[in-house]
A and B are shown apart, each in its own frame.
Chain A
Amino acid sequence: MTPDLVMEILARLPVKSLLRFRCVSKSWLSLIDSTEFSLQHLKLYNPNSANSRLLLGQKRIKIHIYTLTIRRCDTLRKDADVATFGRPFKVLQSLNGLLLISSGHRQEMTVKLWNPSVRKCLVIPNCPIQHRSYNLGFALRSKDYKLVAIDYKLKTIAVYSLNDHRWNINPNPLNINQVSRFHVRPPVYSQGVLYWHGDIFYQRRDIFCYDFDVEEFSLLPLPDAVKKDDVWFIFRLGESLGVFSMSSVATCIWLREKNMDRCYWSEWFKGEPNSNAYQQLFQMRASSILFLQQTNTFLMVQKSARGRDRVKSYNFTTHEIQHLGKSLQGKLFFDTYMENLALHNGIDGQTLMSFPEDQTGNNINARS
């Protein structure tokens, strides 16, 4: 069999099998450890609908325990435990199955990049700027995971590159004056760019963008049809950025598409509006939104002030809104669970920690 075909087959395997098959031969080892393979695996293994699962974080109020579990997308039924943390622990961001986490108390708080599927994590060096918010992304051209910390007061950013394992300060990057720091929910990552929008008091119809390759900000106007009185939000659909909107006339989904060098909004779905769904979506303070293409459904975490978050599913064709996982308590976080080989082989000159330590999280790949 040719190396290309071996790659086609191996790229469809779960991470646990791949970590084992590194032992097969020298050529398999160098294939599995290559960046090219790791990216191909991310593309081929994860979209397979049989593997579609959710990573759900749950922080119970009063008892300081943070649990991470893998769950089915449709029913939120538990598939496997990932880990339980007793110390102050927080998931700051997630991308392609990697989690940016912080742990420890304020003085000795460390930020780590953790890949639960390979059970390893990397301690990120201290960020050189203050007043920061962290955002994780992947730069397509340099094939590099990057972390951008933004200081909105001083109009400065610092960018951490995983390939270089260090921070670089970039004072006054292009358009930083125009972006707003206030956002209602985590930014949406798509194709090397991070997108977010201002809170409901922000009147302009723009989406803010940060490009991880050029390390600059820009503004992206919403589709013309989205009006001020619409309910709207952005989300990720496959590899693309999507905008959902509902007005008194229609329910629409637009996709940001690229043809040659031209980018444009194309209408992907148009249907009837629904006043009940409009009211509920308008009042729901969704803190994260996931799109599940197989079922035409959005999964949303509805924030509550007292840390009693709820998971709601909204079907945009039937306008049915359901409360899922009724037994879940506390502050919730979720994202698509993805298996990713990144970090498994360490990075130059850095040793990675096994994380969580071996006694916990033994079930992570229980299903594989």
Chain B
Amino acid sequence: MASSSSSSLSRVVVKSSDNNLFVVNKKVASQSQLLKQCIDNMEEKGTNDVILIPLSNVTSNILTLVLEYCEKHADFADDDNNNQELKQWDHEFLKKFDYATLNSLTMAADYMVTKSLLNLCCQFIADSIKDLTVQQIRQIFDIKNDFTPQEEADIKNENAWAFR
């Protein structure tokens, strides 16, 4: 809901972990609950200054992507959630990235409290890993196998059909 008070901000500046600055308009920033909260707090104090929000956990590469997502979704903010065009765009958007980028994007969406992007990333990753082998999963998520060969074989035997 746009505030009509005289102290209403129109833009904020967001700083990435590698010290790059991004000027973001309020409607776009509001897609992130973290940024929205900062804006709301400042407006309550009645400040007219442009505020700077540092994001110590998000690199500029990833922040660019989050903001690209927020911009697109801000355009559709008044439509209903089931917009087919937007769904298609979401899918095309994520399709371009490798797992490392997807992981960083997921963490950024979580940190910036952009629930719809978080859900989207989680579902996308889930859909793309469901048919992978255990070995492939360890590689993607950079997980060390801490089972002995015997332990691993035992767990596998409990549900051998799932490995076929």
Residues of A at the B interface (CB closer than 8 Å) are 1-2, 4-6, 8-10, 12-14, 16-17, 19-26, 28-29, 48, 118-119, 344, 358, 362, 365, 368
Contacts and interface: CB of A to CB of B under 8 A. Distances in A.
* Most interface-central of A17, A21, A23, A118 (chain B CB within 10 A): A23
A28 B106 CA distance: 19
Given A17-B129, A344-B159, A23 B122 contact: no
Contact of A17 (B118, B131, B161): B131
Nearest to B154: A23
A9 B130 CA distance: 10
Main secondary structure, interface of B, reads: helix
Interface string B148-164: 00001001101101110
A26 B143 CA distance: 10
7 contacts: A5-B106, A9-B126, A12-B123, A19-B162, A26-B146, A48-B123, A358-B161
B163 A20 contact: yes
Contacts of B138: 24-25
Contacts of B134: 20-21, 23-24
Interface residues of B, number: 31
B162 A28 contact: no
A19 B144 CA distance: 18
B126 A12 contact: yes
Contacts of B127: 12
Given A8-B122, A24-B138, A17 B146 contact: no
Given A9-B125, A13-B130, A24-B143, A29 B107 contact: no
Contacts of B110: 2, 4-5
B129 A13 contact: yes
B161 A23 contact: no
B103 interface: yes
Given A8-B118, A17-B162, A23-B134, 8 more contacts: A5-B106, A6-B141, A19-B158, A22-B158, A23-B147, A23-B155, A25-B146, A119-B161
